[in-house]
Amino acid sequence: MNSRCHTMWVIGLTGGIGSGKSTVSRWLSQQGVPIIDADRTVHGLYHEPETMAAITAAFGQDILTDTEEIDRKALGRIVFADDQARKQLEKILHPRVRVAMEKQQKALEQAGERICVWDVPLLFEAGYGSQMDELWVVWVPLDIQKQRVMERDALNAEEVALRIQAQYSLGEKRNKADVVIDNSGKWEETVVQLRKEMERINREQGL
């Protein structure tokens, strides 16, 4: 937890592939909480000439589509199979994503918002944790995580294992969290936890 001087309370929301973080993020958004989404920010960066140039310099022209856009699937296949390639891509993206998300946060603050969520899959891996007032981890046991990813993405067990290994384990993330949202049961049970945490924050922040 961090005691930076600002008027906005910033929650860092993360999880692991298949943990249900996106569903939690969507629910918070529906309650009117502004979400600063790292994946969406990355998507925007993939269209920026400077970032595109850095990525093609690192990975070659083969990762471009016929329309000269970055083929994220082709890039994904490379980085999930090769640790060094993944680290190289993260080195290009993480600093740029942080700057873009900070801009979004500043705009929300200027608009008078009192709370926002940074939705970041690689929150700890990218070293963003120190910027947050509190850290939320959406957690499920490993067997449920594997099952959900296989069903959702139609991947085989080996592909799922590679993707899970590319992130810190949910157990590691859980140990670093200020708030753990257990999403292994029914969604209604998850919502009860979320409501409780939002009521606490509203109370603490006088909202």
Residues forming beta bridges with residue 70, ordered by sequence position: 64
* 23 annotated to bind ligand: yes
Residue 159 CB contacts under 8 Å (≥ 6 apart), including other chains: 80
- Name which of 152, 145, 154, 147 is nearest 183 in CA terms: 145
* 20 annotated to bind ligand: yes
* 44 annotated to bind ligand: no
* 171 annotated to bind ligand: no
Pairing of strands 35-37, 179-182: unpaired
Q: 191 φ, ψ to 5°?
A: -60, -40
Q: How far is CA 57 from the centre of its chain?
A: 26
Q: 61 φ, ψ to 5°?
A: -75, -15
Residues forming beta bridges with residue 64, ordered by sequence position: 70
- Name which of 106, 97, 165, 115 is nearest 12 in CA terms: 115
* Binding-site annotation, residues for ATP: 18-23
* Binding-site annotation, residues: 18-23
